[in-house]
Amino acid sequence: MPELNELPPKVVVDTSVIIDFYLGGLLPSLFELPFHFLAPDVIIAELQDPKGVAVMILGLHGHELSVSQLLEVRGLSPKNTKVSLNDLQAFVLARDLGAMLLTSDGPLRNLAQENGVGVHGTLWLLDEMVRLAVISQVTAANAIRRMLDAGCRLPKNECEARLRLWESGEQ
């Protein structure tokens, strides 16, 4: 937890994480974590279900990229064809802010790792929520089941390990 005078660490989220938590029924709880949640304005604008404005009310802050950052995104696009332009914006924003990138998108995670940008995903966030007692283990397990049932692309082995642990009630 940050000290009283410290600002919470900045994290940049992409659409995949927001949708995972929405489908898992935990979107409001996500913003109880001690982070300053940011996303490029374009990602907030693309959100339809949930609506971007609703997610901002919960605690997501929009960030406009500079012209030079947008030009860099355009330059990165041909070399990273599996990463959308919006996700490239999230990458550039996280890198430039020295923030952690939160994504469930494999190609985006790879790009971040290759460039020294800290990156975590949905399961790490669930781990943090349980560790910090934002949600219970049972709530986390139920959320994983809802996410998987809704078609969220999460690593099966890691999900099964967490389900065994959390449903058994062990730490």
Read off the pLDDT of residues 16-73 as tens digits, 9 standing for 90 and up. Answer: 999 999 999 999 999 999 999 999 999 999 999 999 999 999 999 999 999 999 999 9
Give the domain range for residue 90.
Answer: 10-122
pLDDT tens profile 104-119: 999 999 999 999 999 9
Rounded to whole angstroms, the Cα distance separating 114 from 59 reads 29
Within-domain flag for 110 = yes
Domain count for the chain: 1
CATH number for the domain that contains residue 91: 3.40.50.1010
Within-domain flag for 171 = no
3: pLDDT confidence band, cut at 50, 70 and 90?
A: low
Candidates 51, 130, 50, 119; CA nearest to 91 is 119
Within-domain flag for 113 = yes
CA atoms within 13 A on the CB side of 33: 22
6: pLDDT confidence band, cut at 50, 70 and 90?
A: confident
Within-domain flag for 51 = yes
Rounded to whole angstroms, the Cα distance separating 121 from 20 reads 10
Instruction: Give the list of residues 6+ apart from residue 134 with CB closer than 8 angstroms, or none.
Output: 29, 32, 33, 128
pTM metric for this prediction: 0.92
- Check if the beta carbon of residue 88 is closer than 8 Å to that of residue 80: yes
Rounded to whole angstroms, the Cα distance separating 59 from 37 reads 7
